[in-house]
Structure 1
């Protein structure tokens, strides 16, 4: 019989979704499953986006320009220039979700066999996107003991070769929630200029920075215009994950010109999504103030509960809505599956994402788990009670 491709065999499974069959089976057994495995917010989508969809009166659901509609790119320009990015609509390619922004960035800037450096743990799908594009990921470890701060620049330099073409950061970080400081961003700037590297900045969680801390984008750094590509999405900012709408931003004209060819090959992003996206830009600041307050509360509930458990350590993240915690367990993959297959407390259990899937280094993260605080605080507290009871009886506790 015909065989699948080598690339298909090498394509990694999602650590976020691979346990779904076990969760589905737990539900069939009547268990309540608290989903902390995936960054699907329960925050309501802004009413303005929903109204824009409901009030649409078009007669033909047509293609849009491959780079995105001019009206949407103009609205995006308003949003980013309020943040100090100093761009024009010509610096933007609208994409089908942030995922396509990442893949277009990789295909535009890197050849097969080229290397990209990524501090780990990192967003698991970077591995998949790199596999699709025949790009080699060169991971450098960050550590839970210092909250997953940016590794020393000397660690980057150890892995730079003549095939190194880019660095990817996610800020605030998925999966750790770490928020990079201005000093760390300046250090990355100097490194990229020294070795003539692209800096890909995944800014999906830009709006979620806590405790009064400041978000710094490489777009804020002078002298880096030709090196920076920002990859963004409406999914998290507006709690609109199903919209599948993102964008790629750069002031590098060659990157825009080349990236547009990949955008043309897939035709266009959705028309209705861009109509909703235009309305999203007018979302009042009070929406984000309320959301940040809610996520800060949820973070505090989760981190306090985790650090109150025997043998558990969880750093306090500065942004996004994730934590990575270290558990007294033998293997995170086994533990997360055991939680769904064999454990329940008051007929409840918890679905989490093993952190091993967020590392590229073999053997890293075996006792770490990522959790998304996307549930209300009462459910989070119930989930933490359930988790604490599970850790008491898990056969692989160490």
Structure 2
């Protein structure tokens, strides 16, 4: 038996690659995962772990271009565009700008909602059935406001959209919010509560997925940096890595933000950019929020688990520039200090940054490649990789002969970009 061949060879051991691996193994396929670092070391490690059907509305909407342009000169803005020239990033931004209209907004919102709601259901079932130890809690996400102006804007452009999509959102008065969350400092004017959202600890979720993959007979090759591909006619015959060459009847590209870099070697131009996010992880403070929170004026996400406490969010478009931007971390600290009685825990455990895989139309790219007959893609999930993980796994499994997903895969197809 060829020990380096499998039915499905998955490139990427993040939350999407592992969720696909687990789903495929349950459907009877043999699976090998190639990961350049360790399982879950990418953007699924340090995010805030919220599971958010409420994030169905995309960023691209009328008026967003002005917000983006104003952020160029503000390095601590929640959305920051590094002003240096970068050809691929500029092309991506022009493509994003073209989609800042209501027709594309409504299309993206409906497609995002379908996979978010399906994933939300499947994730709850998976945690229950597999008894995943990831601190999963189905207690909603609360947006807290300190200015009536910001709340009015969100009620018009966020809550009203969710109403139209059939997603429950509760409008709350300031005193109601402060009663729900004693961890907030006084001065809250109102809130929006999303009861259908949930939270988990993402690094533990990914670790649990990896454990289940191995338990079911899957193989995870860590430290396997992908260097090149061998092809013949319209097929990928080998994936060449720092740990040797591997074969798969099907190759699944699930490399997150690294996907465009590797796809170039296959003459594919993925319309994606890395969107850099940051987080600070602490030991749990004595007065910790009861719910996952978003402090809206500062755009700071706050998540509490029994095992810890995290401040996160921000979106920085600086290409593939590595490392921590201290200005961004300080903005998280300031925003938390304005909104919380105990904004930081007693011990700082980790300062983190990671690249989110942002597709130009804010929809994941899931499906068969038109260029390579045995290539599937599962990438471009943006800030919603954890939230969309189980739904993506189901879609990919259905495309490879397993049980079909009840949602329409067409909106996510690579063919929309000629891939």
Structure 2 length-normalised TM: 0.24
Higher helix share: 1
Structure 1 length-normalised TM: 0.25
Higher strand share: 2
